[in-house]
Structure 1
């Protein structure tokens, strides 16, 4: 897991002549250039002059007197930034009396959701089927409350609302991804599957099929619950629809105007029926006779 940081530094008056914090730069001997963004690492090593990485850590050893602060520029995939500046906006002081400073930054783990939609007979995936996602919050003094997942007004993440009418309708075959810039994008995803990455707080998750695809039966269950994975951060569910049974009415005109009715079970929307009828006609002086 990598977390990217900028190191802000202020000497004496804490800010430059324009009132802004100065971004500290670090020399990279491999490129003979300077960098201003640092990342936590996975093993102990010196990556730039005076900059060391270790598991989930960054250590700076060549800071001079001044006031500094860390700025987290992006959270790791699947995590949410809890704050931007560490330890806070005011920063921390490095001097002879305070020459070792330890700062901790935490990220909140987010949840992932997957729902798979298929044809119950053929097991083929079904795309563009709308679902809404909800959670149930149990209360002590009143009835349980239902909250629905929606996009923020500026599409920077998801949130929960009690207003069902503004709930986000997620479509099968699409993925909804929260980028490191905090913006949610809708992309073409895996066939028949809704993938939501990522959203906060996921107890008692359930789904509801908003509308049944054309040609499918709506008599089956249209609501259900998600099942958490062993790590508790991925919630999954499956939903199937049964194709409708089709009824064909075949009319054969005869002397008695009899109507024949045939029931045709689902053939994946392709119905082929061959009806062979042998008709024998005999002309009589005063009547028309039809024998089969």
Structure 2
């Protein structure tokens, strides 16, 4: 697996992707810039998520940051925001591509409802602004007990429009979400855990181990079942029960018609591990 503790080689891409036995590990690879989002990283992240979504062999993904100081500190204020505001013109292929399709940032931050691969965030150090928004786009979160979170955009005169405003109040109580968004201060890992923003806190040097252990456990599950379950959780969120049940039933119909739905019970009866195919 990719080692997220190493320093980035300047010749390496801004995103490292490693796939091992159905588990994809995406490492934001700008540790000297606290893994902030520049145009290259945004484009590579958007492409990586699309590639994982199209690959039925991928069971689960882990997203993390290189180095020990930061998961991601959001937009690179010298490169990304000036490109969006028009304060600077495109200078290379990554700038040109992002300038021509701003939806790539939505894809990069998982600000979408069509991505059903389960994702684990492995957070060490700072996860601020767009870094917190990326965490909000994941499904399970393992964080270092000394990590920090925050949507700090209002202190820069902008807003967390990478999914933060839409998602946060659906994931934590309203008053907590309002404080995070409108005050803009950082919050501790302990506070994040108490409000349910993260699943587990562990020492920093155990974050990737814990995330990989969880990913391996999830990789034993039916991949189609997990993707469809996540799809229903996302698309039924906020619907009246009758409408939500219809979404659930449609997904159940697809899963029950699959080879995996036959294999799972059969393996249980035969007292052996299931051999899921994702079909």
TM more than 0.5: no
TM-score, normalization: structure 2?
0.22
Q: As a proportion of its length, which structure holds more helix? A: 2
Q: As a proportion of its length, which structure holds more strand? A: 1
TM-score, normalization: structure 1?
0.22
Give the number of the structure with larger relative contact order, counting CA–CA contacts within 8 Å between residues 6 or more apart.
2
